[in-house]
Amino acid sequence: MEERLLAWFVEHGRELPWRRTHDPYAILVSEVMLQQTQVARVVPRYLAWLERWATVEALASAPVAEVIREWQGLGYNRRAVNLHRAAQRIAADGWPDDLTALPGVGRYTADAVARFALDRPVLPQDTNVLRVLDRTQGEFGPASAHALMDLGATICLARIPRCAECPLADDCPARGSRYEPLRKQSRFEGSFRQRRARALTLVAERPRPHDELDSEAVEALENDGLVAVNSGLVSLPE
């Protein structure tokens, strides 16, 4: 089964810029950006980010306000602050053996950096990989990581998998199965997430008086380290 998957990947694998490097910093950037953000949106932002801050040291020395501004539009802005903090820790102390010690780095992200940058024998298991493993009940090694991700993202889809196009279909116990609709993420329009995003966009343009902004959103942003409030003025952190 794994051999067929790898043969399929040679022909159908996605061409993504972070797959052309083994730089742990570049791969960390890509993995943090890809958390809850679609690949198509990430690609141009990833390239622009590395053009601006090509090394972990460059990002570590950048003002956090500029990092937050550069992240605008990717959503879940707390990721930008965590990435900046992680870069500062790496620049000061080097890469830790346990990458989950870095701010904002969970088990999957740590395994992805370990596999794709450091060539460690681990299989990163994101949502797509877990879905393929569960449905096929197959055994796959670390070399299949990218192939499993792409199969899950393009063929073994969450609700209606494209079994007729799947290289593993002949041996898949779940072939032809239909699945219940997934619970969709809550609407952004009218949500508190939108209120936070609107407030942060305004503050990123220029400091604003607190009483001109959504106070609840400002409080949440301040708790996440995304804004600073001083003498009634809300600004990006220095």
| Residue 18 is assigned to a structural domain of this protein | no
pLDDT at 22 (0 to 100): 96
Clarify whether residues 100 and 148 are in a common domain.
no
What's the total number of domains in the chain? Answer: 3
Q: Which helix (H) or strand (E) holds 228?
A: strand 228-230
Residue 204 near residue 68 (C-beta atoms within 8 A): yes
Reference 70, options 99, 51, 45, 94; nearest CA is 45
pLDDT at 182 (0 to 100): 61
Distance CA 92, CA 80 (A): 18
Question: What digits encode the pLDDT tens for the residues 130-157?
Answer: 999 999 999 999 999 999 999 999 999 9
Q: Measured between alpha carbons, how far is residue 236 from residues 59, 143, 231 in Å?
A: 17, 42, 14
Residue 79 sits at the vertex; the CA angle it makes with 26 and 57, to the nearest 5 degrees, is 40
Q: Which of 11, 15, 31, 216 is catalytic?
A: 31
Clarify whether residues 34 and 110 are in a common domain.
yes
Distance CA 80, CA 231 (A): 25
Give the residue ranges of the chain where pLDDT is below 70.
181-186
| Residue 212 is assigned to a structural domain of this protein | yes
Clarify whether residues 131 and 205 are in a common domain.
no
- The whole model's pTM is what? 0.90
Clarify whether residues 111 and 29 are in a common domain.
yes
pLDDT at 87 (0 to 100): 98
The last residue of a domain, from among 59, 89, 116: 116
Clarify whether residues 107 and 139 are in a common domain.
no
Distance CA 206, CA 133 (A): 48
pLDDT at 36 (0 to 100): 86
Reference 108, options 91, 130, 90, 86; nearest CA is 130
Q: Which helix (H) or strand (E) holds 92?
A: helix 78-93
The last residue of a domain, from among 73, 94, 116: 116
Clarify whether residues 49 and 104 are in a common domain.
yes
Domain that residue 145 falls in: 1-13+123-183
Distance CA 139, CA 117 (A): 23
Task: Tell me whether residue 31 is one of the annotated catalytic residues.
Answer: yes
- The DSSP output letter for 187 is P
Residue 85 near residue 103 (C-beta atoms within 8 A): yes
* Burial of residue 168, with CB atoms counted within 10 A of its CB: 0-12 exposed, 13-18 middle, 19 or more buried: buried
- The DSSP output letter for 237 is -
pLDDT at 186 (0 to 100): 67
